[in-house]
Structure 1
Amino acid sequence: MTSTTPVHGSALAEVWPLSPLQEGLLFHTEYGGQGPDLYTLQRTDLLIGLIDAGRLRSSWRALLNRHPALRAGFHRRKSGRSVQVIPREVPLRWREVDLSDTDLTEEEALAEVRRLAAQERAERFDLGKAPLLRLLLVRLTPERHWTVMTSHHILLDGWSMPVMLTELAAIYAAGGDASGLGPAPSFRDHLAWLSRQDKEAAREAWRTELADVDGPTLVGPADPDRAPVLPDKHELTLSDALSDALTTFARRHGLTVNTVMQGAWAMLLARLTGRTDVVFGATVSGRPAEVPGVESMVGLFINSVPVRVRLDGDQPVLRLLTELQSRQSALLSHQHLSLPEIQRAGGPGAVFDTMLMFENYPLPPQEASAPGALAFTHIEGHQATHYALTLGVMPGRPMKVHVTYRPDAIDADVARDLLDRLEWVLEQIVSDPSVPVGRVGLVGPLERGLVVEGWNATAGEVPGASVLALFRARVAQAPDAVAVVEGGRRVSYGELDALSDRVAAHLWGCGVGRGDRVAVRLERS
């Protein structure tokens, strides 16, 4: 709706509802108190080339004016209903630091940028005061700058970031003028689409999918009162060969790489939890093709939904993956429902504390399109969740995976070891998709070699005589000693020797000679 009521000194343009994940993030931020806000996002980029700081600042201001979602502030009404209010204008939160007069080396300058970035992350956002976005520009030389963008996740998702940076480059190239881009599609249209979806049908679909799960899937201690803790992170870059093999495998069998990763993660999660019916969270894009221009919108579209995987040890891996993708595809039209609503419908079995994020986003400009244009070299980013364990996957060549974990819930060695085990599971899946799930090894070749060959090194000298010679010697030494006990009957070595002679004579009579292979079946009479 339209209003002229002032909000923090600016006229109010619109009031919107919240998307499902915005509702969740608002709750977590309010619940988190004054500790670290886990949902503060940050991205650091290097800009190479002559940069006009004034024009860059004007370009960011034009970007805020272009996308109403970037001007949102979040409030709860007396009724308890949460809304986002969109002022017509908001101030740009901009800061510049000049290091050009220092004698810092490139490495020292980057360390200073990281220190400044950490200060920005430590400053909590007041979700009621827009914009929930701050910009820091650090200058080392006229042709070398870093930009640090700090924002709250409630404002935008990973897909929105490259959309913004691509538009920013175009606006900067136009001298800070966004008029050449034409009207921007609005996040409001997506919220309107959400309001038209059949929630009851979605609840029933999730109720059916999560029926009879016998309890939550948790890797960390269940403690709802635990204060937020900033996570630690471990990373792994897969080889080009394995990255290519995963892509080829998925394409050959009509699967997505995301499905393959979900199946592999489920196997690891089963080992961690001791369960054969596991549930974990997945991030879905939430950008329906029915909304015009959705691929160019800025906002928080993503949603978190449960993924259930039943692991039958006798089932071939390929069938597991195929069935998993089929069930996930059937739920696509129901992924708009908020996670709390899904969990209310699904019951205790819908509760989990691990997440898989498949980060398949477009890229911002990597090279300047014209002299003086912007090009972004991504240096690093920071994002976190409240979950005990999160697996992030960045497709490409090479493919990159990382594990972020709460150190108060997961041991660092366990988290680091998960990446090596994941790599080994993926190698087995692509090499033989017909292998039964129960035969997929979760212990890598080096670790297995240590246990089986290293710690179990019990080799020693053995007598040179054959088994037959040892048997004959025992017959000669103690022919009356008991050799076999079966059903109360005792057979001595002498009797067993006589029996073997009779069997050999019978075989010789049938034309079977010494050294010939004979199939023998023993039956009880």
Structure 2
Amino acid sequence: MGESALVGVWPLSPLQEGMLFHAVYDEHATDVYVEQMDLGLEGPLDPAVLRASWQALLDRHESLRAGFRLRSSGAPVQLVRRRVVLPWQEVDLSHLPEDEMPARVERLGAAEQARRFDLADPPLIRILLVKVGENLHRMVVTMHHIVLDGWSLPILMQELWSAYEAGGSAAGLPEVTPYSDYLKWLARQDKEEARDAWREALDGADEPTLIAPVERDAAPVHCQVVYATADAALDEGLRDLVQAHGLTLNTVVQGAWGLLVGKLTGRRDVVFGA
């Protein structure tokens, strides 16, 4: 009897359940949980070793081999495959004039991000490697947020380059702490106690905090980024402020945003996510 194609059947975390709901609610709309990193790589690069390194990470982490389905009962489940093959694409644009390069790379990345994942068909990550010059590459990593978050990515990238330095092998990396351990820990928690805590924290928040009119039939869009640079005086003032009050810069920025949203909405109690 041959080996099973599956090595695990797991529940979902509450956050994963929410993402799966939105993904299957409208399978033709933009999936706003498809995220992307575009990394510039300078210096000699062996694409075959880089590809092997990514594959080694998929082999190493069960959570990167998970597909997501709804049972006939409607309950969500993630099915972990024994083996998946990394979707990998290489494009050589090094022959193009330098002034045309950024727009072409951006178009390629946008097309990758617009292409939806089938959440039932892992892996929910794919790599596009674009050669833009001699010893210059752009690595576009497109992934679904249901399997990777902001805490995971730095760890994954550190492991990627460790595997690359080892010739495409993850054998020398520390033992993995399985994601399933976290799911088991979640299952042991008192869900009703958690609900009570959130009801208390959100008491009085009876409606959304809106700073612009709601367009009921608007299509979902990917997040955009706004960049701003603090001048030297503001930078120094913020540094003095956080040191004087024992705060983090993130806390100060979120506090300032909360005050601004309160003024925009005319409310003293505002709710926003970060």
* TM-score when normalising by structure 2: 0.92
Residue number in structure 1 paired with 2:229: 237
Deviates more, 1:197-206 or 1:42-51: 197-206
Q: Distance in 2 between matches of 1:109 and 1:214?
A: 49
Match of 1:167 among 155, 159, 163: 159
Residue number in structure 2 paired with 1:246: 238
Per chain length, whose mean CA-contact separation is higher, i.e. which structure has more relative contact order (CA < 8 Å, sep 6+)?
2
Deviates more, 1:138-147 or 1:231-240: 231-240
Determine if the alignment matches structure 1 residue 176 to structure 2 residue 163. Answer: no
Determine if the alignment matches structure 1 residue 15 to structure 2 residue 9. Answer: yes
Deviates more, 1:16-25 or 1:127-136: 16-25
Deviations 1:229-252 (A, max 9, x none): 344443212224423432332232
Larger Rg: 1
Describe how 1:276-291 pairs up with structure 2 within 5 A.
276-281=268-273
Q: Cα distance, 1:51 vs. partner?
A: 0.8
Unaligned runs of 5+ in 1: 6-10, 282-356, 358-525
Residue number in structure 2 paired with 1:134: 126
Match of 1:196 among 188, 194, 216: 188
Determine if the alignment matches structure 1 residue 257 to structure 2 residue 266. Answer: no
Describe how 1:457-476 pairs up with structure 2 within 5 A.
none
Describe how 1:344-423 pairs up with structure 2 within 5 A.
357=274
Q: Distance in 1 between matches of 2:219 and 2:61?
A: 34
Q: Cα distance, 1:150 vs. partner?
A: 0.5
Q: Is the 8 A contact 1:36 1:228 kept in 2?
A: yes
Match of 1:104 among 97, 101, 109: 97
Q: Cα distance, 1:88 vs. partner?
A: 0.9
Q: Distance in 2 between matches of 1:119 and 1:209?
A: 41
Q: Distance in 1 between matches of 2:50 and 2:192?
A: 47
Q: Distance in 2 between matches of 1:240 and 1:31?
A: 47
Deviations 1:245-291 (A, max 9, x none): 3233223212233332222112111122122222222xxxxxxxxxx
Q: Distance in 2 between matches of 1:116 and 1:24?
A: 29
Q: What SS does structure 2 have at the residue aligned with 1:275?
A: coil
Describe how 1:75-154 pairs up with structure 2 within 5 A.
75-100=69-94, 102-105=95-98, 107-154=99-146
Cα 1:264–1:71 shift into 2, 3 Å: same
Look up the equivalent residue of 1:53 and give its one-letter code. P
Q: Distance in 2 between matches of 1:159 and 1:14?
A: 23
Residue number in structure 2 paired with 1:351: none
Residue number in structure 2 paired with 1:24: 18
Q: Is the 8 A contact 1:49 1:143 kept in 2?
A: yes
Q: Distance in 2 between matches of 1:258 and 1:140?
A: 36
Cα 1:210–1:125 shift into 2, 3 Å: same
* TM-score when normalising by structure 1: 0.49
Deviations 1:209-233 (A, max 9, x none): 2223454322233466543134444
Deviates more, 1:75-84 or 1:190-199: 190-199
Cα 1:231–1:32 shift into 2, 3 Å: farther
Unaligned runs of 5+ in 2: none
Look up the equivalent residue of 1:129 and give its one-letter code. D
Cα 1:30–1:275 shift into 2, 3 Å: same
Look up the equivalent residue of 1:227 and give its one-letter code. A
Q: Is the 8 A contact 1:48 1:144 kept in 2?
A: yes
Q: What SS does structure 2 have at the residue aligned with 1:182?
A: coil
Residue number in structure 2 paired with 1:325: none
Q: Distance in 1 between matches of 2:131 and 2:76?
A: 40
Deviations 1:360-417 (A, max 9, x none): xxxxxxxxxxxxxxxxxxxxxxxxxxxxxxxxxxxxxxxxxxxxxxxxxxxxxxxxxx
Identity of aligned residues (%): 51
Number of residue pairs matched?
273
Q: Is the 8 A contact 1:4 1:13 kept in 2?
A: no
Describe how 1:49-60 pairs up with structure 2 within 5 A.
49-60=43-54
Q: Is the 8 A contact 1:75 1:127 kept in 2?
A: yes
Look up the equivalent residue of 1:171 and give its one-letter code. A
